[in-house]
Chains A and B, each alone.
Chain A
Amino acid sequence: MRRQRRFADCNARICSNEQTTLTMELPDARQSTLVNTVLICRDCDTVYRALTLRRGDVALCRRCESVLSRYVGTDAESGLALVIAAAIFFAIANLTPILSIEVGGVETKANIWFAVLSLQQGWISVAAFGLAFTTFLIPAAQILLLLWVLLFARAKRRPPGFGPVMKLLHRIRPWSMTEVFLLGALVAIVKLANWVHITAGAGIWAMAGLTVVLAILGRCDPAAWWSIGARRRPWSS
């Protein structure tokens, strides 16, 4: 049957990473509401039995090949280190110029905020808001919320408002556009280099660092941080 072949394909493609095979299980509908032994595919709703993953493992859906779960190597400690790195990169990216040009002794600099302010003209400010939202507000919120969750997790406590915070983190993730800003800055360099002398500031490197760190943190979402919260919950049954 068709499904069988897909599974074979899918197996072959991932065997370098010790593909974890998933089998179907019929869970008995007992009273418990949380079912931790089962994974459900987000994209096609297929049910699988969850298996323990080893380093480098990715569990894929047989049917649609979306990622069911990944091996999580980041605990609260290293997660916190990454978030602090992200916060430092974010501060540098916002405090130092990302690009600067010089014409006849006059120099202008630009970073995220200069870019946002330059779009503030009458109702074009809609675009300024869109830019500030995706390249400043959302990354800042991601860093602060993760910091909140992980600081408590490290102290082996469940952070206040853990559920809503995690929900918010999940919701805002698609709107973070740090990597797009980085590419935009590179395009601007090439675009203006023909006419003026343009130099990249410290901010562009910080932006690159931030992109990488946020990408690593993004891979852990969401199962990893949820399990941190669950493990550090001494008082709840």
Chain B
Amino acid sequence: MVQLRQSFEVGLLLCRTCGQAISRTSPSADPRCPRCESRIEHRTPFSTEMTLAWLVAGIILYVPANVLPVMHTSGLLGEADSTILGGIIEFWRAGDWDIAVLIFIASVAVPFTKFIAIGLLLITVRKNSRWERHQRTTLYRIVEFIGCWSMLDVIVVALTSALLQFQMLGTAEPRAGIAFFCAVVFATMLSALSFDPRLIWDRRT
């Protein structure tokens, strides 16, 4: 069988921006891709630090995003503030279990999956673990893929408050929680994008 080798073992570099393989002829201080002119790094610099920083930011922001109300509705039935979890429970009670499950996945399950998965990747990379490297790479790709779907609640709140604008009958307005939630989505996406999956495969001694 053939042996699989990493790029640096055979004197090559990868430009992660355009996917071009480059042979490392002269080691210069500031190597650039001859095709797209982006900087070429052996591994993304400060990858784990940036990932951890954005992850912590995401987790901190997730608290006010859930505690503070995301929407304020007023109308003939009175006034009410609703949080993300409150909204999910309301849908569930009203019999719209499908919407409840969908919002639960987008607003609770996806962020938690990201927190746990990125945390797991960071810990195992830090410990130089060789455990299930293939599965961990898949995990990373899943985190990358689900990144944007938490934005769902922000969009639903925005559309609802854009539509419900009847002074007497009912209005809906966004509340602070939604801004925090939007920030959580951005922070977790930046966290996932900062992570360099090649670190999973590196054998550092």
Contact = CB atoms under 8 A, between A and B. Distances in A.
Interface string A1-41: 10110100000000000000001101101111111101110
A99 B161 CA distance: 12
B151 A119 contact: no
Interface stretch (B46-54, B119-127, B195-203): B195-203
A119 B166 contact: no
Contact of A119 (B25, B170, B178, B185): B178
Contacts of A223: 19
Given A33-B22, A47-B6, A185 B159 contact: yes
Interface residues of B, number: 80
Interface stretch (A76-84, A130-138, A146-154, A211-219): A130-138
Contacts of B156: 184, 187-188, 191
B161 A119 contact: yes
Interface string B143-176: 0100111011011111111111110011001111
Given A34-B20, A38-B12, A223-B19, A108 B36 contact: no
B193 A174 contact: yes
Interface in A123-159: 123-128, 130-131, 134-135
A58 to B, nearest CB: 14
Nearest to B155: A184
A37 to B, nearest CB: 8
Interface string B1-17: 11111111111101011
B160 A188 contact: yes
Contacts of A63: 4, 134, 201
- For the complex of A and B, list the 5 residue pairs with the smallest distance between their C-beta atoms, beginning with the closest: A184-B155, A115-B158, A118-B162, A40-B14, A110-B162
25 contacts: A4-B1, A24-B2, A26-B10, A29-B23, A32-B23, A33-B22, A42-B14, A43-B137, A43-B140, A44-B197, A46-B7, A46-B201, A47-B9, A47-B21, A64-B134, A64-B138, A118-B174, A123-B176, A130-B183, A130-B186, A166-B36, A181-B155, A184-B155, A191-B99, A192-B160
Interface of A: 1, 3-4, 6, 23-24, 26-27, 29-36, 38-40, 42-47, 62-66, 98-101, 103-104, 106, 108-110, 114-119, 121, 123-128, 130-131, 134-135, 163-164, 166-167, 170-171, 174-175, 177, 180-181, 183-185, 187-188, 190-192, 194, 198, 222-223, 226, 230
